[in-house]
Amino acid sequence: MARILICEDSKLECKIITEILKKDNHEIIGEAINGQEAVDKFISLKPDLVTMDILMKPDGHSAIKQIKKIDPAAKIIIVTSLVDDKGEVVQSVRLGAEGFVGKPVNEKILLEEVKRVLNKNNPA
C-alpha cells in the first residue's frame, strides 16, 4: 500500500483514479488541481507516489521539474490524454517522470504502472 498524491484538474478523472487506487488498497493522501498546488502538497504530504496530469495550469511539466528538484527520488507517473504526442511523453521522462498512463485511464494499466514505479530501485 502506497501513499499517493493525485494531481488532476478534471474532477471525473480524479475520481476514477482515486477509486482504482483505493480498490488496490492504496491511500490517497491528497489531490491537487494545478501544478503549483501539486508542488505545495508534495512538500507538505511527502507521498510515496504522484500521479500527474501534464496539461494542468500551471502545467504538470513545471510541477515535475520542481518536485524532482525538491526530491530527486520522487516517483511520478504522468496521466495524460496526449498518448499520441511522443514529444510530451519524452519531455516528461526527461524531467523525471518514471511512468506513463493514457486517458481514458485503464484500471489494469494504471495498477501495473503504479506497481512497477513503486518497485523500481526497491527489488522485492
56 DSSP 8-state letter: S
pTM above 0.85, yes or no: yes
What is the tens place of the pLDDT at every residue in 66-119? 999 999 999 999 998 865 556 767 778 788 899 999 889 999 999 999 999 999
| CB neighbour class for 109 (10 Å; exposed up to 12, middle 13-18, buried from 19) | middle
Q: Is residue 124 part of a domain?
A: no
How many domains does the chain contain in total? 1
Q: Is residue 78 part of a domain?
A: yes
Domain that includes residue 79, residue range: 3-119
- Residue 71's CATH number: 3.40.50.2300
Contact in structure between 5 and 29 (CB atoms under 8 Å): yes
What is the tens place of the pLDDT at every residue in 6-45? 999 999 999 999 999 999 999 999 999 999 999 999 999 9
Q: Is residue 77 part of a domain?
A: yes
d(CA 30, CA 36): 14
User: 124 or 94: which carries more pLDDT confidence?
Assistant: 94
